[in-house]
């Protein structure tokens, strides 16, 4: 079986501490190729690898319209995951709107979700090749 190339991750989050912790953790992971972020007022980079995984921070603060527009510009085949502190009705509606397949609980140790992100991406990649 051929080896899977590294996964490209797009993180859509306004919380700088969450963003920084996840970027550091994801960049240390061998199976992660690139990590890009989208924040308010900054358009996503063009001409870089399309994301295999998109992580959405459900807030607070709530995601802004520019971040959602960035998601609309990415391929819908990307695995969408929502990072949330709870599974409130608002979070569920948000997850449905972005086509998320799972919630990952975020807390002070948010970087600890990195192995879950990698495992879910690997599973989704295996499903795509069947």
pLDDT of residue 1: 39
Structure tokens of 84? 């949330």
pTM of the complete model beyond 0.85: no
pLDDT of residue 26: 92
pLDDT of residue 25: 92
Domains of the chain in start order, with CATH, are: 1-92 (3.40.50.2300)
Query: Residue 72: pLDDT band by 50, 70, 90 thresholds?
Result: low
Averaged pLDDT, 76-88? 86
The yes-or-no verdict on residue 86 having pLDDT over 80 is: yes
Total H helices, total E strands in the chain: 4, 5
The yes-or-no verdict on residue 83 having pLDDT over 80 is: yes
Tell me which of 102 and 48 has the higher pLDDT. Answer: 102
Tell me which of 70 and 104 has the higher pLDDT. Answer: 104
Residue 30 CA to residue 75 CA, distance in Å, equals 23
Buried-state track 42-61, b at ≥16 Cβ within 10 A, e below 16: eebeeeeeebbbbbbbbbee
Residue 42 CA to residue 32 CA, distance in Å, equals 23
pLDDT of residue 73: 63
């Amino acid at each position: 079986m051929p080896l899977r190339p590294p996964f490209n991750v797009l993180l859509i989050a306004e919380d700088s501490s969450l963003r920084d912790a996840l970027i550091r953790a994801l960049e240390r992971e061998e199976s992660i190729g690139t990590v890009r972020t989208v924040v308010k007022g900054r358009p996503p980079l063009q001409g870089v690898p399309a994301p295999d995984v998109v992580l959405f921070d459900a807030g607070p603060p709530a995601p802004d319209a520019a971040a959602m527009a960035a998601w609309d510009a990415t391929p819908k085949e990307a695995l969408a995951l929502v990072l949330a502190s709870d599974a409130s009705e608002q979070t569920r509606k948000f997850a449905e709107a972005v086509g998320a397949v799972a919630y990952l609980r975020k807390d002070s140790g948010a970087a600890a979700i990195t192995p879950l992100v990698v495992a879910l991406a690997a599973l989704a990649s295996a499903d795509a090749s069947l």
